[in-house]
Amino acid sequence: MSGKGSHRNKHYEKKNKVAVGEKAREALEQIDENSPIIKMFRQYAIELDDKHDRHERIVKLSRDITIESKRIIFLLHGSNVDLETKRDIILKEAAMRLEMLSKNFKSIATELKDMDAYQYLRAYTAGLQEYVEAVAFYQFLRFNELETWENLQEKFRFSKENDHPSQSEIVKLLFPATEFILGIADFTGELMRKCINSLGSGNIEDCFKICNIVKQIYIGFLGINPSNNRELKAKMYVLKQSLLKMENVCYNIKVRGSEVPKHMLAQIAIANTEQNEEIDEGFF
């Protein structure tokens, strides 16, 4: 009897329970659109939508920069050839494609005009670092040097035409030194690949040259305290591992270079390097 009564009471409560949708509808009908608070929140909604849309546009531009930069790096690895004419053609094409990327950066700089660029930095940091990596790799192959952060900043200054053709406005893209450092850290990974490729093609001198360059870069990175930057700490660890691989390759060349044919030297050196790799839990 008591069971039937409780069932009857639950049925009565469920029947007379007001749906949440009805309450929300009643609340919306009672809202005064002329209220200052409602107007304020309407404006907040417009600003948030505008911010999210701008963020998505910047992410898409950054994605295009990242993809094209990776393609340019892949192209530059093909410059490791004996024919000077083919190498020049590859370097000229890479320079042209790097120059074309400035249009994407100009679009990002235009989007961020009169905005707090630091709020959108994470939206294009991947493309920025990949671009720095591609530029550094190109300059190393073409001029055997690296451009400084100060000089590279000039590439992110763009002129924007106003309504009057005779007048132009300068827009600048935020390019922190941290992004440059992270891009250089990635660049050392490409140097490690070039070192291995040079060994495979029998160009042993380049292996030692590249290894010494990465060693100097690593020494420079040791002067940085990465404790407050997790991404920098991770990339410095990868940099150390790349340097160890190159040092092991150079060591095997010195020890076994005279007893192994050049066309087999790369395979043996890489195999010995992989056998000697150890897991290092520490940082330095």
Is 34 inside a domain boundary? yes
Do 271 and 193 belong to one domain? Answer: yes
Is 23 inside a domain boundary? no
Is 12 inside a domain boundary? no
Answer whether 64's CB lies under 8 Å from 104's CB. yes
Residues in binding site for Mg(2+): 133, 190
Distance CA 71, CA 133 (A): 12
Looking at residue 117, which CATH number applies to its domain?
1.20.58.190
pLDDT confidence of residue 87: 87
Residues in binding site: 133, 190
Is 9 inside a domain boundary? no
Q: Where in the sequence is the domain holding 220, given as residue range(s)?
A: 176-284
Is 13 inside a domain boundary? no
Distance CA 172, CA 107 (A): 11
Domain boundary at 160, 175, 190, which? 175
Looking at residue 189, which CATH number applies to its domain?
1.20.58.200
Is 7 inside a domain boundary? no
Domain boundary at 146, 175, 204, which? 175
pLDDT confidence of residue 1: 46
Do 96 and 198 belong to one domain? Answer: no
Write out pLDDT tens, residues 110-167: 999 989 999 999 999 999 999 999 999 999 999 998 889 999 999 999 987 665 555 6
| pLDDT: which is higher, 21 or 2 | 21
Do 126 and 251 belong to one domain? Answer: no
Do 256 and 229 belong to one domain? Answer: yes
Do 39 and 160 belong to one domain? Answer: yes
Highest mean pLDDT among 1-15, 151-165, 221-235 belongs to: 221-235
Residue reference for tokens 């490729």: 197
Look at the chain and report how many structural domains it folds into. 2
Domain boundary at 175, 197, 215, which? 175
Distances (CA, A) of 269 to 24, 32, 188, 262, 265: 71, 77, 20, 11, 6
pLDDT confidence of residue 183: 95
pLDDT confidence of residue 202: 74
Mean pLDDT computed over 266-281: 54
Do 123 and 190 belong to one domain? Answer: no
Per-residue pLDDT at 23 exceeds 80:
no
Do 251 and 135 belong to one domain? Answer: no
